[in-house]
Structure 1
């Protein structure tokens, strides 16, 4: 499918792996210039660049730029640099985030909550604040934020993460109402238990705790912690990326202020 966005420029935060990297591959195959960003412009980001470049078509460029989303000045500098070097970002897929503090609610401290909010919720706020003015100059913009099944079906040991993801959906809806007349669209994607470095780390921790293999930990987790995943497996990053790429396209020009669950049936409610 021709997504009709050839020649546009996309920023992907958290672009060194997982959903970010796979989305980058989809976009460069459509001739979109992609900037992969992470906290540090290190080895993992350079490796991601090599992988994405192999998929590039129609002259699509792949660049890497570092930015710390917990620092607004950093994010603003990133936006300004992209404008200077590439004419601005038409598309922002904000994939960077963290699970943050987890555990018994009564044992979580103010600092635990603040640290999770700074990355997951305020990171989204900072990215939006930095890039909306650039969308306005271009009179065209797509911003996709990552929420989660946790926003609808919260898990008791992840209360800070749950609250942040619900907040991201609300933020995206608010922005969609404020800027849609300027041809700027905001949407969310809510994955569930995807093969990413974050869930890999969770499974390695679980495997060590239970003295089992990582594969056995995945099976145990699906059966005991995510019983509503009808497909009974972890999702693949490319299964999320294909939906994100569509939301970036001209074909999605009437999709605004919504949240799309790509969760294998994980959320039990029909209307969540």
Structure 2
């Protein structure tokens, strides 16, 4: 299968590292003009340079904007007035006991993980419908289906993303616009790598081995029995953004390594 996104503009939020960076890099390889987003100009510039080195001739631009509030979303939409592909990857996570999560933190998680995608979809979807072609993908998580007791606030926001994406898909019914969610499982992103570094050094093992131990103990239903790579997650997202995925919409697509114990 040859995925060709030439002539399409793709905006990937939080794309300076990890899964977002892998998605942006893959979309650039497929010929899309890619807009990188991060919270600081320094990280945006580094990501742009890395993709330019990996994909010679790629059409790239970058916008520094913190999407945890409406002002940051407005800054991004002012700079990027049109997008054919929107990947809502911005999000935060972190384990914390439920009884220590106050209202402000709940609000911060909701604004960052849910409202960032709501605001950008509200801005870009009308243009996609006018052009009768577009792709919106929400990067959710297997935690949307298996709410983790150690970070309930995160799981709740990931479930909310599924609801928003499902409703938007119905809103775009009968058009050439698709809206889907992709649900990664445990993935060796930069954040997870940093989280595992200490335990790996203490045990005298590699970060990959520490990741496999984490999966076996904390996500014991995993069939993959290891952390996925960001590129493995990105592969499904890039297909979902392709012209070939025109009949896939309103779906929650799992790339979770079989963590979710479900026959469908």
* TM-score using structure 1 length: 0.89
Pair 1:180-2:179 in alignment: no
Alignment of 1:125-204 (within 5 A): 125-204=118-197
C-alpha distance in 1, partners of 2:242/2:99?
44
- Which deviates further from its counterpart, 156-165 or 102-111? 102-111
Q: Given the alignment of the two structures, is residue 113 of structure 1 paired with residue 106 of structure 2, yes or no?
A: yes
Equivalent pair of 1:29/1:56 in contact (CA under 8 Å): yes
Pick closer, same or farther for the CA change 1:236–1:73 going to 2, 3 Å: same
Match of 2:23 in 1: 23
Q: 1:69 aligns with which of 38, 42, 67?
A: 67
Aligned-CA RMSD value: 2.0
Number of residues of Structure 1 aligned to a counterpart in Structure 2? 262
- Structure 1, gaps ≥5 residues long: none
CA distance in 2, matches of 1:114, 1:52: 34
Specify the alignment match of 1:49 in structure 2.
48
- Structure 2 contact 88–139 (Cα < 8 Å) conserved: yes
TM-score, L = length of structure 2 = 0.91
C-alpha distance in 2 between matches for 1:180 and 1:197: 37
Provide structure 2 residue ranges, at least 5 long, that are not aligned to the other structure.
Answer: none
1:139-188 CA-to-partner distances (Å, cap 9, x unmatched) read 32101011101111121011001110011001100000012334221100
CA shift for structure 1 position 206: 5.3
- Report the CA distance between 1:128 and its aligned residue: 1.3
1:259 aligns with 2:252: yes
Residue by residue, what CA displacement relative to the aligned partner does 1:172-228 show, whole Å, maximum 9, x if unpaired?
0000001233422110000011111222233246568xx445636424312210111
Contact 2:69 2:112 in 1 (8 A): no
Deviation for aligned residue 1:45 = 1.9
CA drift at 1:244: 0.7
Asked if 1:92 is matched to 2:91, the reply is no
